Structure formats: C-alpha cells, structure tokens
Structure 1
Amino acid sequence: MRKTSLALAVAAGTLGLSQVAFADLVGDTKVSLEARNFYFNRDFRQDNNDTPTPSQSKQDEWAQGFILRMNSGFTDGTVGFGADAIGMFGFKLNSGGGTGNSGLLVPDRSRKAGSQDNYSDLAVAAKAKISNSTLRVGQMQFKNAAIASSDGRLLPQVFEAGHIVSQEIDGLMLEAAHVREVNHRNSGDYEDIAITNNFNSRTGSAGTRGITLRDGSTTDSFDFIGGTYKLTKELTGGYYYSNLDELYKQHSFNLVHVLPLGDKQSLKTDVRYARSTDDGNRSNVDNKAFGAMVTYGLDGHAFGLGYQKMSGDTGFAYINGTDPFLVNYVQISDFANKDEKSYQARYDFNFASIGIPGLTFMTRYLTGDNVDRGRTASEGREWERNTELMYVFQEGALKNLGVRWRNATVRSNFANDIDENRLIVSYTLPLM
C-alpha cells in the first residue's frame, strides 16, 4: 500500500512538473495532413536516329498519397527539447500494362515496369534548442545550395542525418550537417547516397555528364557547412561547402538582389556559381557551373531571362534524386552536361492582380547546346518547354484545395524525347 501511495505521489509530482515544462512543447506544436492525388503521364517520342530507344514507350500512373507533418514546440528551460515527424503513405490507383517506373510508387522488381500496390514510411527527428540554435538528429528534409530534398512526386524524399542551425546574429543563418542515408521519394527503405550520373556500365561510356566512377557510385557519408547573410535590405549572399565522401567536393556561392523600381515593379537578380572537384580516386569530377536569372516584375506579371554554363572535364555533380541548385534545373532536365551552355525565357502571371486570387500561370522555354558527346559524336543539343496552371480555392467548402497541371516537352539528340503531363490535386488540413 505504501509503495502504491509513494508511486502515485511521485507520478503526481512529475505530472505537475511536466505541465510546466511541456507547456511550450504542446502549445507551439503544428500538425497538418496533406492529401495528394497525383496523375503522371510521360510519352517517349523518338523523332531521330541519334537518340537511344527507351526501354518502355510510356509511363502512366495514378496514385493517392497522405503526408502527416508534425513540428513540435520546445520544452521550457535553458535547453528545450522537442521532436518533428513526417508520416507518409501512398497507394496505387492505376498502373498497368508495363507503364510503371514513373517515380510515384515503389517499383515491383517481380514485374517489368510494374509498381507495388502501396508503401509507407515514418521519419522522426529529435531536436534540442539553446537560444537561437537548434540541433536535430534523425530523419529530415533539406533545402539549401548543397542539398535539396525532392518533393516532385507523390511523397517527399527524406534523409537520415544530424543537423544544426544557428541564427544567433541578426540576418545571419549558419547550418551544418552529417548525412548518412537517403529514403527516395519512391522507396520505403533507406540506402546509401549516390551521385547523379548517366554512366553506362554496359558500354563503359561516361555519357554526356562525363563523370566516370570507380568502386561504385555510393557512399554513406555526406557533409555540408554554410549559410546565408542578409548584406543589405536588398542583397542576400550565401556560401556552402559540401563533400560526398570519396566522390566530390563542392563550393557553392549565391547572390540574390531585389531592386524596387517603383509602384508594383521590381528587378530580381539571382547569380549562382559552384566549383566541384573529385574527392580521391573514385571519380573524375571537375566542373565549374555558372548561372544567372534576371526577373522583371510588373504588377502581376514577371518576365525572366536565364543563362547557365558548364565548364571543366565533367558536368555538374550532385546527389542523385535531389533538386540541384541550378537556375536552369526545370521540370525534367537540368541542362548540366559537360560543356553545356543553356538559355531560359520565362513568363509568370498572378491573376490576383485582376481580381482572381489563387490562380497562377507560368510558361518557360529553355535551349541548350555545345554538349560534349565524345570525339565520335556531334555536338549535343536539347530544348525543353514547360507550362503550369494552378488554382487554390480561397473560400467555401473547398478552401485550401489546390489543382495543379504541369506540362513539359523535351527534345534532344542525345537523350529521350519526352511529352509529359502531371495533374496534382492536393488538400492540406491543419490539425493543430
């Protein structure tokens, strides 16, 4: 009896302390559920004899996904503790006749171009905060010049890592991380990290990327350190150093300047430069990537012009499956092959400027040339055209429901010709 009474007293005392300590933890917690319905259709259309024949003529899949996100607050005290989580579940609505491998679902290795019926994953990260610095350990997403998790399919890509962010100085954000494994957007398992490459192991060709590898293309170690600083009200600078162990080292620089020009007018300049080299003898990475995008905004209109140039012995190096920090990385292509020069023209319109809030339109055209295809092949050329129309309901029973159509056309004399459509219907419900 006395043991029970003592236990109850301790529990009551602990609960009392917990209510104080965990007040901010619960009160600042944000929880949301996103339902994402995704239809993906990609036709391979080879219009000339130079390009390779794809293994399948079409990728056509329809799937439903659910993404539960939880970001807790922190316990009270000098050191605050909390946790973040991403729960993911996706299932197949339609994928038949050998039209899988779209990236929406996990491939079914027992069937050619088939997909599994469903997949799921849970990404959890513990976190601790002192002052304005936060340490996270576990599974998480990234978005910076060194590494950016892809969220362009049904479920997002996540990494297993330790990550620290410091914002102790006004206008300065510093961060560093050690990353061990990746769970890709169409996978339920964690695996080693690979470098993006189009090396053909069957023929021994380095492909248009120009990167050759020894002893495999994966590693279990990626590190980065860097940050951004708001130099003036209009100018922000950034620098990151990253290292994919034994495969590449990279220095990335970025300057973004936004110049107000008057009533509802602005000029935005985004300049990016990255220097990549090998890290040991497992690769031959040697690349300089320069890019610049200038965008003139006028009321609801935005007119952009971009330029990107690759130089060095190889194309641009980045982690496989991620979104590279390049101005000409678009819906399908990255225009980052060996010696490639590319140009972009883009137009955006926000219909809120004429009284239709929630409706936006974008179209762009990119062309690339001077791709090194080897001594026996002609100069590589490619172009891509994208169109995107999106509407988010602003009120009523359908408020926050988004409908997005993305169309792309790619033509090339060294890669697959592609016609692609994506239809995405998403709804995010705040739960806390």
Structure 2
Amino acid sequence: MKATPLAQAIALAGVGACLTLPNLAHADFIADSKASLELRNFYMNRDFRQDGSPALPTVTGKTPSERRSKSEEWAQGFLMRYESGFTEGTVGVGVDTIGTLGVKLDSGRGTSGTGLLQVDRDTGEAQDSYGDLGVTAKLRVSNSILKAGTLMPKLPVLLSNDSRLLPQSFQGGQLNSMEIDGLTFDGGQLSRVNQRDSSDHEVMTLTNFSPAARGFTGLPATTQGSDEFNFAGAGYKWNDQLTTSYHYGNLDQYYKQHYLNAVHVLPIADKQSLKTDLRFARSTDDGQTNVDNKALGAMFTYALGFQSFGLGYQKMSGDTGFAYVNGTDAYLVNFVQIGDFAFKDEKSWQARYDYNFAGMGIPGLTFMTRYINGSDVDRGAGLGEGKEWERDMDIAYVVQEGDFKGVGVKWRNATTRSNFGNNLDENRLILSYTLALW
C-alpha cells in the first residue's frame, strides 16, 4: 500500500528527530524520553428525531431542501506521540511531537458530519484521510516549563476537545510554573486552532452551538475570527481536601472571562466521601459582541465504596448565554455528551450514578449514567420558554491481563430532546489501545 503524504511526513520527522538526538548528548534528554502509538477505532451514529422545527440539518454541498436524517461514520485513528526529557544545566531544553492520522472506513455524502472525519466543504463527502504533525519546543528552569508550538490546554477557560477520533490542538505558547509548594500558575497566548475533524490551522471564533438561543449578537462583524486568545490563572492546594483556583481568558474582540473554582473532598468514613465542586464564571464582551453572562454551577458527589451518586445544579444569567471558543469543551458541571445547558437564562439540574465493577470482582469494567433537565431558556420575544433534557450512559471495559491487556472498549449512548434544538439519539462505540514504544 502506498504511504499517504501525512504518513511520509511523520516518518521523515521521526527520522529527523533520531538524527538530531546525538547532537544533544545529554542522558536526561534521552533517558527520560518516551514514545507511544495510540490506536482508536471509532463508530458513531447520530439519529435526528425532530419532526418540524427546527428543520433537519442540511447536507453540505446539496440544496437546502435536501436534509439529513442521520449522521453515521466509522473511522480508524492513529496518534503517535514522542516526549523528550530535558537537557542538563540551568536551562533544560526538550521537544515533544504528535503525529495524527484519521482514515475513513465508512461514510457517505448524506451521513457525514459526525466530527470523526474531515468533510470536503464543496461536496459534503468525508475525505479518505486527514491528519497533522505538531511539534512543541520546551524549556525548563527550576520548576517552570515554557512550551511553544502545538498545545492542548486543559484549563477552565480553555479545554482542548478530545471526544472524537483525533484531538483538537492549538498553536501558541504556554508557561506552567510550580515554584511555590501547592501553587500552580499557567499563562500564555494562542493564535490558531486545529479542530478535531480538520487538518487546517485556523483563527478562533465564538461557539456556534445554537448561537440564537444564547442571545449572541454582533457576530457577523467577527466571523473572520480572532488570532489571539490570552489566558492566565493560578490554583492553590490548601491541603489534601481543598483546592481553589482563579483563571482569566480573553478571546480578542469577542469576550473576556473570569473563572473561580473550589473543590473540597470531605472524608466521612472508610471508603466514603463527599466531594463539592463549585464553579462561577463572569463573561463580558470585548469589542464587537454583546457577551454578558454569569454562570454558576455546583456538583455534589457522594462516594460509597465502588459506587458514587452525584447531584448538580447550573444557572445562567445576564443578557446572553455562556461563551467559549468554538470546538472546545466548556468547563461547566452540566456540559455533557451532547449539550452544555448554557443558553440564555437557562437553569438545569443533573442526577448521576457511577459504578466500578471491581466491587463485584470484575476489574476494568465501569458504568455511568446521568440525566440532565434544563428549563427557562430565553428564546426571544414571542417564542416562549425553552426546555431540554438529556440522558447519557457509558459502559467501558479495559482488558486487565493476557495477550490483549490494555485494550479498551467503550459504548456511549445518549438521547436528548428540546423544543428549540435538535432531537437526537446517539451511539458511539470506541475501541482503543496504546502501545508504549519505549
């Protein structure tokens, strides 16, 4: 089989890295390095169930009258990661790389659009393959690390999305510092995003997930996007039970956001605890939009042996819904498999149950189910109150021993209904395995 251009690029990059290693003759750079190959086999089916408003989504490349009743795709993903150690000395130098490749196994013009594969913007057909090669240079001084290049931040104001075949990534710089015991600082700037179903590095925009129900205006003037997302924040671990944090994010010309978070774990008895997760975000406009939102969330989780019970509440207030960078995850207690329950004035609650079957002698098998109900959505003058609900279920198993040790299988099932958005039945089946190369 002839190698794809991406596969050739990854191979050449790997050869190039190997050739440069002797020039960095430092034991820590080589001895502390690690490499892995992650395989993801991903099937996804999204069945649109609404009858009437809103209309079924259109098929890209077809006339508006040609609507899709479902999205269904199957694909194979490859993620090659290499992380070096650091050279010796006051300033340590290192490099990380990630090569990704997604290959279409099954998809049609009328069933594409699951987010698994890159779609041709003219024909609406999923491309046979897509991917990217990312390189990150890093410097370490004491307990601080500066990275520049490909980044996948996991911060309250910006959560890189990894819920499909390939992960979302960004281009920019990030400083992580832990010079003071218990205190972690993060800051930096991003300029481009590579979405999870794309190989293009593009400017960033505001979430386009049902923007009308969020009450956003001023968006037409900013459709060109922003090439600047600034962020900074700190978290402090007071003791083994309490951690607090503050983070700031700014998508230039779109919005500014301040985020407060407190997590407390109260031991109750042997194998029993109560976890309290409180979150508050204040978002305002930054130039061309009308973003104005207060987001309050609380999640309480009672752990009892191998099971846990959770109750959550989330409230939106202000002139708009919650704002975040398009394609990312939102750090909200009710951000779940399909919905985020973050529309204008929306109030929502969640009930969740988790079980680890190790308690029944089946280690590696886990189960989760939750139900979220949202109401009071401001849909605009004369449209009435918006309501929605979602039910999710995850069953996952990781082989614990034998020839297939480490192989994981996960089934994710979700159903959502609303009077202002899509009605969906969704299934995802994921087979995964990570091979440590060294």
| Separation (CA, whole Å) in 2 of partners of 1:247 and 1:131 | 36
Match of 1:23 in 2: 27
How many Å separate the matches in 1 of 2:159 and 2:209?
20
What is the match of residue 241 of structure 1? 248
Q: After superposition, where does 1:54-203 map in structure 2 within 5 Å?
A: 54-55=57-58, 56-112=68-124, 114-198=125-209
> Match for 1:332: what amino acid?
I
Query: Paired residue for 1:310, among 303, 313, 316?
Result: 316
Which amino acid in structure 2 is aligned with residue 53 of structure 1?
Answer: L
Distance 1:225 1:398, change over 3 A: same
> Residues 345-364 of structure 1 correspond to what in structure 2 (within 5 A)?
345-364=351-370
Deviations 1:79-135 (A, max 9, x none): 0000111110010000025100110000022323x2000012111110000000000
Q: 1:198 to 1:157 in 2, by over 3 A?
A: closer
Identity of aligned residues (%): 59
CA contact (8 A) 2:24 2:87 kept: no
Larger Rg: 1
Specify the code of the residue in structure 1 equivalent to 2:364: G
Q: Which moved more, 1:325-334 or 1:229-238?
A: 229-238
1:269 to 273, 276, 296: 276
Distance 1:110 1:27, change over 3 A: same
Specify whether residues 18 and 378 from structure 1 end up closer, same or farther in structure 2 by C-alpha distance, changes over 3 A only: closer
User: 8 Å contact 1:214–1:283 — kept in the other structure?
Assistant: no
Structure 1 15/264 Cα, relative in aligned 2: closer, same or farther at 3 Å? Answer: closer
Equivalent position SS for 1:256: strand
Q: Secondary structure at the match of 1:272?
A: strand
1:10 match: none
**CA–CA separation in structure 2 for the residues paired with 1:238 and 1:15:** 39
Are 1:209 and 2:220 an aligned pair? no
CA distance in 1, matches of 2:147, 2:21: 26
Runs of at least 4 residues of structure 1 off by over 6 A? 14-17
Q: What is the CA deviation profile of residues 12-47 of structure 1, one whole-angstrom value per residue up to 9, with x for unaligned ones? A: xx999843xx21001111111100000000000014
Matched, 1:383 2:389: yes
Q: CA deviation at 1:423?
A: 0.1
Deviations along 1:227-249, one digit per CA (max 9) or x if unpaired, are: 21101220000110111001100
Provide the aligned length of Structure 1 versus Structure 2. Answer: 408
Partner of 1:8: none
One-letter amino acid of the structure 2 residue matched with residue 210 of structure 1: G
* Conservation of the 8 A alpha-carbon contact between 2:109 and 2:123: no
* Deviation string, structure 1 residues 172-220 (Cα, Å, up to 9, x no partner): 1101010000000000010000111357xxxxxx610111124123100
1:143-173 deviation digits (Å, cap 9, x = unpaired): 0101011000000000001110000111111
Write the deviation string for residues 53-94 of structure 1: whole angstroms up to 9, x where unpaired: 332111000000000111110000000000111110010000
Matched, 1:278 2:285: yes
Instruction: Find the aligned partners of 1:192 and 1:98 in 2 and give their Cα distance.
Output: 28
2:170 maps to amino acid: F
Partner SS state of residue 207, structure 1: helix
Q: Give the secondary-structure state (helix, strand or coil) at the position aligned to 1:107.
A: coil
CA–CA separation in structure 2 for the residues paired with 1:39 and 1:90: 13
1:291–1:308: 8 Å Cα contact kept in structure 2?
A: yes
* 3-state secondary structure, aligned to 2:159: coil
The letter of the residue matching 2:242 is L
Larger mean Cα displacement after TM superposition, 52-61 or 393-402: 52-61
Once residues 222 and 238 of structure 2 are traced to their aligned partners in structure 1, the CA distance between those partners, rounded to angstroms, is 42
Structure 1 residue identity aligned to 2:379: R
Residue 376 of structure 1 deviates from its aligned partner by 1.2
Structure 2 portions without partners, runs of 5+: 1-19, 59-67
State the alpha-carbon separation in 2 of the partners of residues 130 and 187 from structure 1.
Answer: 35
Q: Any idea what SS the aligned residue of 1:26 has? A: helix
**Residues 198 and 120 of structure 1, relative CA distance in 2, 3 Å threshold:** closer
Q: Which whole-Å CA distance do the structure 1 matches of 2:107 and 2:21 have between them? A: 51
**TM-score when scaled to structure 2?**
0.91
- Are residue 422 (structure 1) and residue 438 (structure 2) matched? no
| Distance (whole Å) between structure 1 residues aligned to residue 27 and residue 325 of structure 2 | 40
| TM-score normalised to structure 1 length | 0.92
Structure 1 distance, partners of 2:201, 2:292, is 29
The residue matched to 2:155 in structure 1 has which SS?
Answer: coil
Contact 1:30/1:431 (<8 A) preserved: yes
Tell me which amino acid in the other structure corresponds to 2:329. Answer: D
Mapping for residues 307-346 of structure 1, pairs under 5 Å:
307-346=313-352
Change (3 A) 1:80 1:360: same
Helix, strand or coil: the match of 1:108? Answer: coil
Distance 2:378 2:220 in 1: 21
